[in-house]
Amino acid sequence: MLSGKTVLLGITGGIAAYKICELIRKYKRANATVKIVCTPNALNFVTKLTLQTLSKNNVYVNEFDIKDYNPEHISLADEADIMVIAPATANTISKIATGVCDNLLTSIACAYTKPLIIAPAMNCNMWGNPIIQENLHKLHYTILEPEEGFLACGYSGKGRLCSVDKIFEKTVELLNYKPLTGKRIVITSGGTIEEIDPVRYISNYSSGKMGLALADCAKNLGAEVTLITTKDVSKKYNVIKVKSALDMKKAVEKEFDNSDYIIMASAVADYRAKEISSQKMKKTEGDEITLTLIKNPDILKELCKKKKACPPALRPSSPLIVGFCAESENLLENAKEKINKKGCDYLIANDISRKDIGFSSDYNEVFILNKNGETKHIEKADKSTVAYKILEYIVIQRLIS
């Protein structure tokens, strides 16, 4: 992904510095050249030898260690395609924001004119300090905000370094890695709304966040994206707003012949009211009311049938179809049964019984199943990270293999 690119990685004196070892490994696996600049305090948390071994390069700490009359804070800035400062302490953020250049890292940041990512990590009270927030607003760089959780200081709150996956993905995005250029991807999201009368409807708890994360990620990777959603979304890619399962079916079928990938991340209602009242249904004297429901079409299954019905010569050009399933028990067993019934190329299984992932959460953890019985586990992460890993596994690896 990053072949021929040089990443200048700045590490400051925070406990999260140890996490950057994995980030270096990710950059190296992506074939990037990694050059590291540490503040003196950073070496209290991670050793120079460790960083040199992982990066296969010298680690720079001191200013004015000039070779060949080439000041290092300028030469390192010139060589890099992107600069990443992670973890970024409150101290370093404030210095950069106010133009203080009292060490090699802050001097480079002051002279740097290309894409720069800052990933803060600090105590939650420090993060919430108005002065720190004001300094952050002064920075016209990409800020990857910290996450909430248990902190090394014993507090619990917003201050943890964001995932190294997120830092890596943002680096790839800013370096304009576009492996999906020319590919047309249709993604559905959100729970469908099945009307009962003008004020009532049947729906589910789906927030649409996973589908939206997939659409954003696909767009960032160069794809031509169409998002078919039940939510109000304003994006720079094509968004089609729908309401019911029948609306969604019609919209997806219209895009079928013009797509390379269809990802059905929406939560489609299984049933709808047999009759929709044109007027608000009034409360009756009885304690019960009977509502007759009829089954909605299985959009995923019908898309797969349509693909299978294509003449063999045309089938390779038919879209690759990805389904989602939400299960509250026996996740993998039900998912394996479902992929066989639906006939899709891949099925992504969510465990909705957990409160820390899935519906309405910003996090997810999924299993990807394919028709050959293979399973890929994507561990818990924010949904943008999960989206990238899904696309990497299902789309990117197929394209580059």
Q: Are 141 and 129 in contact (CB under 8 A)?
A: no
- CATH number of the domain that 262 lies in? 3.40.50.10300
What is the C-alpha separation between 112 and 110, in angstroms, rounded? 6
What is the C-alpha separation between 242 and 247, in angstroms, rounded? 6
Asked if residue 11 and residue 135 are part of one domain, the reply reads yes
% of the chain at pLDDT higher than 90? 72
Asked if residue 246 and residue 317 are part of one domain, the reply reads yes
Report angle CA 2, 235, 115 to the nearest 5 degrees.
30
Asked if residue 169 and residue 202 are part of one domain, the reply reads no
Is 105 domain-assigned?
A: yes
Q: What is the mean pLDDT of residues 341-355?
A: 93
Q: Residue written as tokens 């561990």?
A: 379
pLDDT of residue 14: 92
Is 277 domain-assigned?
A: no
- Using one digit for the tens of pLDDT, what is the confidence trace for 98-141? 999 999 999 999 989 899 999 999 999 999 999 999 999 999 89
Asked if residue 168 and residue 92 are part of one domain, the reply reads yes
Is 60 domain-assigned?
A: yes
More confident residue, 339 or 176: 339
Asked if residue 346 and residue 374 are part of one domain, the reply reads yes
Asked if residue 188 and residue 170 are part of one domain, the reply reads no
Q: Are 342 and 301 in contact (CB under 8 A)?
A: yes
Asked if residue 190 and residue 116 are part of one domain, the reply reads no
Domain stops at, among 144, 174, 204? 174
- Using one digit for the tens of pLDDT, what is the confidence trace for 191-243? 999 999 999 999 999 999 999 999 999 998 899 999 999 999 999 899 999 99
Is 282 domain-assigned?
A: no
Backbone angles phi, psi at 278, to 5 degrees: -80, -15
Asked if residue 204 and residue 106 are part of one domain, the reply reads no
Domain stops at, among 174, 192, 220? 174
What is the C-alpha separation between 18 and 15, in angstroms, rounded? 7
Q: Tell me the residue type at 163.
A: S
- CATH number of the domain that 44 lies in? 3.40.50.1950
Is 300 domain-assigned?
A: yes
Catalytic pick among 153, 217, 304, 344: 153
% of the chain at pLDDT higher than 70? 96
Is 280 domain-assigned?
A: no
Strand 271-273 versus strand 293-295 pairing type: antiparallel
Q: Is the pLDDT of residue 397 over 80?
A: no
Asked if residue 98 and residue 207 are part of one domain, the reply reads no
pLDDT of residue 62: 83
Domain ranges, residue 194: 184-271+292-400
- Using one digit for the tens of pLDDT, what is the confidence trace for 69-86? 566 667 788 899 999 999
Is 116 domain-assigned?
A: yes
What is the C-alpha separation between 77 and 105, in angstroms, rounded? 10
What is the C-alpha separation between 160 and 157, in angstroms, rounded? 8
Asked if residue 392 and residue 256 are part of one domain, the reply reads yes
- Using one digit for the tens of pLDDT, what is the confidence trace for 242-274? 999 999 999 999 999 999 999 999 999 999 999
Half-sphere exposure of 343 (CA within 13 A, CB side): 12
Is 261 domain-assigned?
A: yes
Asked if residue 325 and residue 255 are part of one domain, the reply reads yes
- Using one digit for the tens of pLDDT, what is the confidence trace for 42-76? 999 999 999 999 999 999 998 765 555 566 667 78
- Using one digit for the tens of pLDDT, what is the confidence trace for 129-180? 999 999 999 998 999 999 988 878 788 889 899 999 899 989 988 887 788 9
153 catalytic residue (yes or no): yes
Asked if residue 377 and residue 228 are part of one domain, the reply reads yes
Domain stops at, among 114, 142, 174? 174
Total structural domains in the chain?
A: 2
pLDDT of residue 350: 92
